[in-house]
Amino acid sequence: MEHKNLTLDYDKNLINKILDDIEMRYVILFLYIVRNDLFEDLKNQEIVDSYQRVLILDEIFKDNLKTFWKEEFLEVAIDLGLIRNIRSLREFEAKERDFVVKLGDKTIKIEQNTIIVPSELIFLMITKKFKFLTKKNFNLALTRLKNVRCEIINAIHNFIFEIGEDNYCLSDDLYYILDQFGNFFQSIKIEVTIEGFYDRFKEISDKITEYVEIFDPILNNKNTLKKINLAIEENKDVIKHLKDEKVKLSDKFNTDDIDKNAPIFKEWNSKLIQMIKFRNKMEDVDKKILDVKSYYSGKKKKNSYLEFIEKISFNEDNIIDKIQDQLISLRNEIIEIDKEISKMSKKDVKLLNLDYEKFILTNGVNN
């Protein structure tokens, strides 16, 4: 068979490579979800008519959407971010009937049996769930997806098409290939859950690193960090081990002539060791989060993205349960750390170190 159009038989490897690129993956997936989950591939004319009925209104009220849109359509539309001034279905339901709904100047249009999505809206849909995407990388992804070189023959496959100026639609070839693999909306929700957990983990981890920096910047040095982790692993006194390893700590760590029973020393030393051990624990959690992500991404990826979607759609190998169990376990690992970290601020840690340094000046070496 002559190979012209994008097909699964010839282009599966190429499709997986494109889906491995985060920016391109989300452009494709959200265009697919708009077409499949929101508009049901234009197979239900009632959905199209009800959507068009709202678009022609000069001003759109909550009551209009409740009247014309089915609940399932409304739920997906809100989840995707089509309604600019509503973040969730719960928020929408809490509004008064005459609440003015904003769809934005640029929204989805249906012309000549084609669903057309403005690039601005695609970007907003993605960044509502995945904050890390930059406009620069997003625009680059759009450019690349319009012209993807085939791996089999000297040809170009259009994964998306630009219609007019800055409006896009998913290619039919790619849509029907993806449609064979299951529930993309569910796979996105799983990714959002994992990324949401990672974002919260990163907030706590960054705060710990910031606090450790206040005690002494060298404690965040990569080589010092390795020595600290080894000391914890071997159940050694961390500071003594660092001194034995000739790490150049600041003078406040010269505690030989310090009164170890002094309350300020006990508090300072206790918080220091606590922060160091918390950071060590968080590094271990970080590795475990990467293991969860490895179901669909990373150097040690267990599945291609198409395989991941298929497994998620049918819960093959209990993949959803495994991911949920791993995230619950990881949450339990950091919950106590989070509680302790939340009890103090950067200002508190700075004041503790200042008080300890004053104590050294008046009660320390040779005093």
- Residue 47 has which token pair? 């959905």
For residue 277, being part of any structural domain is answered with yes
pLDDT averaged over consecutive 10-residue blocks of the chain (367 residues)? 82 94 95 96 96 94 95 95 93 95 91 95 94 94 95 92 94 95 91 93 96 96 95 94 92 86 94 96 96 92 93 94 96 94 94 94 63
For residue 52, being part of any structural domain is answered with yes
Q: How far apart are CA 338 and CA 69, in angstroms?
A: 42
Let me know whether 206 and 355 are in one domain. yes
4 CB neighbour count, 10 Å cutoff: 12
Q: pLDDT value at position 10? A: 92
Q: pLDDT value at position 367? A: 46
Q: How far apart are CA 164 and CA 118, in angstroms?
A: 10
Q: What is the dihedral of CA 217, 219, 220, 222, to 10 degrees?
A: 130
Q: pLDDT value at position 256? A: 82
- Residue 67 has which token pair? 């009247």
Let me know whether 176 and 64 are in one domain. yes
Cα 250 versus chain centre, distance? 38
For residue 1, being part of any structural domain is answered with no
101: left (phi over 0), alpha (psi -120 to 50) or beta: beta
Contact between residue 39 and residue 109 where contact means Cβ atoms under 8 Å apart: no
DSSP string, 30-50: HHHHIIIIITGGGT-HHHHHH
For residue 336, being part of any structural domain is answered with yes
- Count CA atoms within 13 Å of residue 15 on its CB side: 24
Q: How far apart are CA 32 and CA 121, in angstroms?
A: 14
Q: How far apart are CA 347 and CA 281, in angstroms?
A: 24
| Number of domains comprising the chain | 2
Q: pLDDT value at position 156? A: 92
Q: How far apart are CA 51 and CA 303, in angstroms?
A: 37
DSSP 149: E
For residue 80, being part of any structural domain is answered with yes
Let me know whether 167 and 278 are in one domain. no
Let me know whether 248 and 156 are in one domain. no
Q: Where are the alpha helices (DSSP H) in 69-134?
A: 71-80, 89-94, 119-129
Let me know whether 103 and 223 are in one domain. no
Cα 109 versus chain centre, distance? 29
Let me know whether 44 and 59 are in one domain. yes
Which of 122, 156, 180 is the last residue in one of the domains?
180
Let me know whether 164 and 266 are in one domain. no
- Residue 1 has which token pair? 């068979």
For residue 2, being part of any structural domain is answered with no
Cα 262 versus chain centre, distance? 45
Let me know whether 156 and 191 are in one domain. no
Let me know whether 229 and 120 are in one domain. no
Let me know whether 142 and 208 are in one domain. no
For residue 326, being part of any structural domain is answered with yes
Containing structural domain, residue 209: 186-363
Contact between residue 77 and residue 116 where contact means Cβ atoms under 8 Å apart: no
Q: Rounded to the nearest 5°, which phi and psi values hold at 308?
A: -60, -45
CB neighbour class for 206 (10 Å; exposed up to 12, middle 13-18, buried from 19)? exposed
For residue 158, being part of any structural domain is answered with yes
Let me know whether 170 and 194 are in one domain. no
Q: How far apart are CA 189 and CA 175, in angstroms?
A: 19
Q: How far apart are CA 152 and CA 145, in angstroms?
A: 17
Which of 157, 180, 203 is the last residue in one of the domains?
180
Let me know whether 12 and 124 are in one domain. yes
Identify which of 192, 137, 140, 148 has the alpha carbon closest to the alpha carbon of residue 170: 148
